[in-house]
Structure 1
Amino acid sequence: MEQWLLYGVLSLLPLAALSGFLMGRKHRKGKQDSSLSSNYIKGLNYLLNEQPDKAVDTFIDLLTVDTDTVETHLALGNLFRKRGEVDRSIRLHQNLIARPQLSSEDRNTALFQLGLDYNAVGMYDRSEKLFKELLADPVHKNESLVQLLNIHQLTRDWDDAAKVAEELQSSLGVEQSKPIAHFYCELAQQNRQEGDVKSALSNVKKALAINPDSVRASLLQGDIHLQQENYKQAIKSYQRILQQDIAFLPEALPKIADAYDNSKDKTGYKAFLDKSLERGAGVSVLVELSKIVQDDKNDRAAAALIGDFLQERPSLKGLQRLIALHIEHAQDSAKPSLELLDGIVEKLISRKPRYACHNCGFEAKAIYWQCPSCKEWSSVKPIKGIEGE
């Protein structure tokens, strides 16, 4: 506790020194104010009596806002916000803005900092209003667009998020097609929940128009068609993933199987799986294909298919499928060992993450279109290799 107080006192000494300097300068100009002198002494007394909070307020009051002290006020505001004392930062920036002698440039800078203060305490409606006002200022326009984009994402205002991202892309030349496509997908999700299929499909089409490689948009479009029992269109939407990012195909496999099954097209489903493997699909596709081979031929043929694949691309999931095929035909003495091995592999698979963020390394068992850690869109991908696909 004593160390903290000492640190607080020491951290305020520069502010006290600055206040003293300003007071001395006014004195040299013949404008000394007795109240200024008494307040300065009062601030020092607060420091000596280990009351740093009161000392801060006293010294801030001594800093008359003029062209020489604006930067000092702004620096103090940043310091307070970083230390979590946002209420003080807000009061300081509001005090700055209220000064009639402040230049328009300094006022806009103070407005931007006040917007950051409001963001820090979750007052997004107030910060949004300030950043929108600053869009008219060329100096703060791009920074304000970035802040507005963050606010709209936090408040899940996807329509405005898309508009701001498009303006940011136009203004800065920074590619925003991936996040914009996700914003339209978010809108489509909301439309589906509200039962508005037409609007959902419309927003999905916008997502694909902006980013033709949007796997999420293809999945959503396929899901909507599948729900509407439009199986051919569902299959067409899901098949697009082969060109977009084949690593995400396992996300759609159960739905693709459902669509082909409802279409009574087992041959078409097998052809699709064969085509997917030729293009480099992972073990999930192989497992599905092995089930068809098992039905059409026998367990031995399915096991041979899995074994050939594992020689080239070892996989826990493939090993588990191979064990399951052998258990049925194993001798009674061998079954317990195979079942034990199957249980071990199952535990290994269940404990391992299926997805990882290529930007920050975040790992998860479920897909996240926006990384919960670094907030990047489209950075979370399926894990490949022996523990993945």
Structure 2
Amino acid sequence: MFESVIAVSLLLPIAWYFGYRNGKQKASGKSAARQLGLSKKYFVGLNYLLNEEADKAIDTFVSMLEVDSETVETHLALGNLFRRRGEVDRAIRIHQNLIARPSLSAAHRKMSLLELGYDYMAAGLLDRAENIFNELVADQTHKQASLKQLLLIYQQTKDWQNAIKVSEKLQPGASSSTKTEIAHFYCELAENKLYHQTPKEAVSYIKKAISVDANCARASMISGDIEFSLGRYKQAIKAYRELVRQDIEFLPEAINKVTACFKQLNDTKGLLQFLQHAIEMGAGVSSILVYAEEIKAEKGDIAAGQYIAHQMVERPSIKGLLKLIELYLKHASDSAKPSLLMLQGVVTKLLENKPVYHCNRCGFDSKALFWQCPGCKTWGSVKPIQGIEGE
């Protein structure tokens, strides 16, 4: 309702002006019937406004506006307003009407075309929007805005090759954020190749991702997964070591495969060294629990429980507490077991209701890992939750 009032406030004085101007045009050959029609429309619009029918008033006043150099900006502002209100059809009609005017200047036509592109984006007509923005890329004034919209379109349609091309044009110098995005686009292409069981092509894209962004943890993770699937466990471990160096917060995503690699190589000592190094570097509770499992296999439940309890002094963790309860339940007295079982149930339910991942940019929480945040659309900002309720 507030935005309707704004629209009427824009249109009312202009509509009055055209009603007045056309009333003065009798001497220049304008017909009395046309004057009367305009005057009637003006008062019809006023009547709608007085009856608090703002939408009808807007439609009436818009129909009175002639398109000339004095009113183009008003039409553009109205179209923008309609689009923000979600009335995309109205916005499209206004901007299409502007573009159809042969008297429209080249600059105003391009402005109207840009707004029409935004309208099509809002309406989900991405193919039409793409055509418009591709046309406007050639114009220096609207190049950056058009490239940004094309990048959004190609991400929505998962056209990663074109997304890479547009990103490179958008910022020729390639800032760190742009490099991050391009590396993720290559990772998307790699995962698509893996889905279609062409690992060699996937490896090629991963190499390109790392060449663009040497700190792309996702690329190292995919590289490790590819090597693991091919049974090249030493190469997989090498990739996972890179992951630790690049962003240790993502290690929980690979920790099971890391463990499996060392197991396949019968290298328990190497696994313990890997885990110890990761824990010293700040790895979360997932690495601590894997280390505890190795202690349990060698020295038993009590030693494993003592190790977890020691780690929890510095790194309090609900997951660690749950594992500790599980270990102590096996050796608890009959009188202590009911309390421990009750506590185990409470902690389990607490973890079930907690999100696992968190976007460090907008705060979006989820139980699944998204490489592009569904909330703010930032790449690489969603990570495993750290701290007492996470890692």
Please give the TM-score of this superposition, normalised by the length of structure 1: 0.92
User: Partners of 1:47 and 1:219 in 2: how far apart?
Assistant: 65
Aligned partner of 1:41 in structure 2 is 40
Structure 2: 5+ residue runs without aligned partners? none
Contact between 2:243 and 2:251, CA under 8 Å: does it hold in 1? Answer: yes
Contact between 1:354 and 1:388, CA under 8 Å: does it hold in 2? Answer: yes
Contact between 1:128 and 1:151, CA under 8 Å: does it hold in 2? Answer: yes
Aligned partner of 2:120 in structure 1 is 118
Aligned partner of 2:16 in structure 1 is 20
CA positional deviation for 1:108 = 0.6
Aligned partner of 2:161 in structure 1 is 159
User: Partners of 2:289 and 2:277 in 1: how far apart?
Assistant: 14
Q: Over aligned residue pairs, what C-alpha RMSD do you find?
A: 2.3
User: Does 128-137 or 316-325 show the bigger shift?
Assistant: 316-325
CA positional deviation for 1:135 = 0.7
Aligned partner of 1:322 in structure 2 is 324
Determine whether 1:202 maps to 2:204.
yes
Contact between 1:44 and 1:55, CA under 8 Å: does it hold in 2? Answer: no
Q: In the superposition, relative to structure 1, how do residues 350 and 220 fare at CA in structure 2: closer, same or farther (>3 Å)?
A: same
Structure 1: 5+ residue runs without aligned partners? none
1:42-121 alignment to 2 at 5 Å?
A: 42-45=41-44, 47-48=46-47, 55-121=57-123
User: Partners of 1:198 and 1:225 in 2: how far apart?
Assistant: 11
3-state SS in 1 of match to 2:215: coil
Contact between 2:41 and 2:64, CA under 8 Å: does it hold in 1? Answer: no
User: Partners of 2:243 and 2:3 in 1: how far apart?
Assistant: 58
User: Partners of 1:18 and 1:108 in 2: how far apart?
Assistant: 24
User: Does 169-178 or 123-132 show the bigger shift?
Assistant: 169-178
Aligned partner of 1:143 in structure 2 is 145
3-state SS in 2 of match to 1:136: coil
Q: In the superposition, relative to structure 1, how do residues 55 and 327 fare at CA in structure 2: closer, same or farther (>3 Å)?
A: closer
**Out of 306, 311, 322, which is 2:308 matched to?**
306
CA positional deviation for 1:339 = 2.0
The aligned amino acid for 2:377 is: K
Which ranges of 4 or more aligned residues in structure 1 deviate by more than 4 Å?
A: 6-11, 26-30, 49-55, 171-174
CA deviation string 1:165-224 (max 9, x = no partner): 121121796840111111111111111111221211111111111112111111111111
CA deviation string 1:133-158 (max 9, x = no partner): 11111111101111111111111111
1:339-358 alignment to 2 at 5 Å?
A: 339-358=341-360
The aligned amino acid for 1:17 is: P
CA deviation string 1:73-121 (max 9, x = no partner): 1111111112222112111111111112211111110000000010111
User: Partners of 1:154 and 1:277 in 2: how far apart?
Assistant: 38
1:218-233 alignment to 2 at 5 Å?
A: 218-233=220-235
The aligned amino acid for 1:22 is: F
User: Partners of 2:228 and 2:173 in 1: how far apart?
Assistant: 39
Determine whether 1:130 maps to 2:132.
yes
The aligned amino acid for 1:12 is: V
User: Does 30-39 or 109-118 show the bigger shift?
Assistant: 30-39
The aligned amino acid for 1:218 is: S
CA deviation string 1:39-67 (max 9, x = no partner): 34135325526676555444333322211
1:236-247 alignment to 2 at 5 Å?
A: 236-247=238-249
Contact between 1:185 and 1:203, CA under 8 Å: does it hold in 2? Answer: yes
Contact between 2:19 and 2:38, CA under 8 Å: does it hold in 1? Answer: no
The aligned amino acid for 2:21 is: R
CA positional deviation for 1:237 = 1.1
Contact between 1:162 and 1:183, CA under 8 Å: does it hold in 2? Answer: yes
3-state SS in 1 of match to 2:66: coil
CA positional deviation for 1:243 = 0.7
**Out of 270, 273, 296, which is 1:271 matched to?**
273
The aligned amino acid for 2:172 is: S
Please give the TM-score of this superposition, normalised by the length of structure 2: 0.91
User: Partners of 1:239 and 1:116 in 2: how far apart?
Assistant: 45
The aligned amino acid for 1:41 is: K
CA positional deviation for 1:37 = 3.9
Q: In the superposition, relative to structure 1, how do residues 233 and 139 fare at CA in structure 2: closer, same or farther (>3 Å)?
A: same
Aligned partner of 1:284 in structure 2 is 286
User: Partners of 1:270 and 1:97 in 2: how far apart?
Assistant: 69
User: Does 295-304 or 102-111 show the bigger shift?
Assistant: 295-304
Aligned partner of 1:336 in structure 2 is 338
Determine whether 1:372 maps to 2:378.
no
Q: In the superposition, relative to structure 1, how do residues 57 and 33 fare at CA in structure 2: closer, same or farther (>3 Å)?
A: farther
User: Partners of 1:10 and 1:250 in 2: how far apart?
Assistant: 52
Contact between 1:316 and 1:386, CA under 8 Å: does it hold in 2? Answer: yes
